[in-house]
């Protein structure tokens, strides 16, 4: 699963997700892509599940580019713990997604196959998405 090798700080604030994506909002590598239509967090597990779905459907043909990376640590406190006593330990990592961000790209494969693979990947994600092509 994806996670940063090292970080300047171990824990982060949640912050707000306002505005549209100004970077990473166009196709750069492949011919078909999956673009987000709403803001949210995508976990490393969800990215991996979507990648597996695409790879499985294309029978490892073509190329897949993952355009997002989970670099934000999310903390969680143990179950049945009283309030207070600081922030919890890092539980998992998420990628912050804004509307318009291209999540995945695919190339070197028939468009019909790529479209279906993207559709399957979209079902693994917690955001509304649309499939775009050149």
Q: Where are the domains of the chain?
A: 37-73+92-131
For the residues 17-25, what does the mean pLDDT come to? 95
Contact 24, 67 (CB under 8 A): yes
**pLDDT of 70:** 98
Q: In whole angstroms, what is the distance from residue 15 CA to residue 102 CA?
A: 21
pLDDT digits (tens, 9 = 90+) for 3-19: 999 999 999 999 999 99
**pLDDT of 56:** 97
Please tell me whether residue 108 adopts helix, strand or coil conformation. coil
pLDDT digits (tens, 9 = 90+) for 26-75: 999 999 999 999 999 999 999 999 999 999 999 999 999 999 999 999 99
Q: In whole angstroms, what is the distance from residue 73 CA to residue 38 CA?
A: 21
For the residues 108-132, what does the mean pLDDT come to? 97
Element (H, E) at 51: helix 44-57
pLDDT digits (tens, 9 = 90+) for 84-104: 999 999 999 999 999 999 999
**pLDDT of 74:** 98
Instruction: Assign domain 37-73+92-131 to a CATH class.
Output: alpha beta
- Give yes or no for residue 134 having a pLDDT over 90: no
Tokens of 127: 């955001």
Q: How does DSSP classify residue 127? A: S
pTM: 0.95
Across the beta sheet with 102-107, the strand order is 63-66, 102-107, 32-36, 129-133
Confidence of residue 81 (pLDDT cuts 50, 70, 90): very high
Tokens of 73: 């640590």
**CA dihedral in degrees (93, 106, 114, 32; nearest 10)?**
100
SS3 content of the chain, % helix, strand, coil (to 5): 20, 30, 50
């Amino acid at each position: 699963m994806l996670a940063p090798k090292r970080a300047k700080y171990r824990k982060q604030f949640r912050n707000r997700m306002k505005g549209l994506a100004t970077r990473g909002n166009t196709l750069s590598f492949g011919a078909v892509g999956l673009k987000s239509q709403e803001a949210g967090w995508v976990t490393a597990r969800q990215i991996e599940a979507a990648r597996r779905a695409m790879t499985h459907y294309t029978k490892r043909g073509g190329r897949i580019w993952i355009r997002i990376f989970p670099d934000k640590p999310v903390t969680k406190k143990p179950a049945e713990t009283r309030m207070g006593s600081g922030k919890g330990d890092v539980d998992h990592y998420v990628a912050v997604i804004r509307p318009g961000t291209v999540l995945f790209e695919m190339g070197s494969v028939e468009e019909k196959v790529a479209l279906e693979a993207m559709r399957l990947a979209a079902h693994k994600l917690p955001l509304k998405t649309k499939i775009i092509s050149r």
